[in-house]
Amino acid sequence: MTITPTGAFDRTPGGAILMDGNRLRDEIVVALRAAIEAAGSPPVCLATVLVGDDRPSQLYVASKQKKAAEAGMTSRHIGLAADSSQAQVEDAVGTLAADPGVHGILCQLPLPDGLDAEPVLALLPPEKDVDGLTERSMGRLVRGLPGHVPCTPLGVIRLMERYGVATAGRRAVVIGRSTLVGLPQVLLLGRKGVDCTVTLAHSRTNDMIDVCREADIIVAAAGSARMVTAAHVKPGAAVLDVGVSRTEAKIVGDVDFAEVQAIAGAITPMPGGTGPMTIACLLENTLSAARMLGAFPT
């Protein structure tokens, strides 16, 4: 799939390129729809499973379904009560896994207290694991085998591609070591074709400012509000904010945007940066899943 840049890049008041995730998400959705229509509009189905009535999770799943429809895909949804048993959740996911009409499956996490996500995720065939969360998907990423890459780290890569952030031979620092973002992000930045020299930083990193100041690229994914300040950033560096923290006033990221935008060469906003790209890459993975399963032309 090719995304064609349109128009000049927007910039922050400080002059940094604004890496707009909303804009790129919409470009990807348009490209996916065009690819599906060019193939004769075969059904490409994304199934979602939501356990409980958590309002943010409901909104997030609804947003995924809306964007799937805009991309020309179909959606299937299973909603289960918060008091559902482990067996009920596993039965729902297992049914979708066995259904040849379903190409991608997303089980919204976290599950309610008392439910274990690991045996649920283990039911997902790697071809349908469009979130890229299972141990088999992670193993494929490590081994460089075909599979689905976790959506948020992939979204970071897509933003850098779209906004012309050079990676080959550059130094990158990833702050945070979660299996959802930090660890796969390190693998993606270091793999052949991207070719960064990558440092993994975390809460036990003693010289965080010095480590970050050496980086051409900073990916902040620690979930610590505004921890990356101007002192952490080398002038001209690209700064991508993945962390999300809720204050009394608003949602903020791991990056102090007001400070850093005056120094960085490129920066993502929060919200509107890496978040929308998670959904875009979920849909990208869903089309790839349909191809892997032989339901869509290669």
Supply the residues annotated as catalytic. Answer: 64, 108, 131
Under DSSP, is residue 181 helix (H, G, I), strand (E, B) or coil? coil
Check: CB of residue 185 under 8 Å from CB of residue 219.
Answer: yes
Under DSSP, is residue 106 helix (H, G, I), strand (E, B) or coil? strand
Residue carrying the six token digits 């207290």: 113
User: What are the Cα distances from residue 28, in Å, to 88, 146, 198?
Assistant: 35, 21, 27
Q: Measure the CA–CA gap between 282 and 50, rounded to whole angstroms.
A: 16
Check: CB of residue 243 under 8 Å from CB of residue 222.
Answer: yes
DSSP 129: B
Can you name the residues that pair with 47 across neighbouring β-strands? 76, 105
Q: 162 phi and psi, to 5 degrees? A: -65, -35
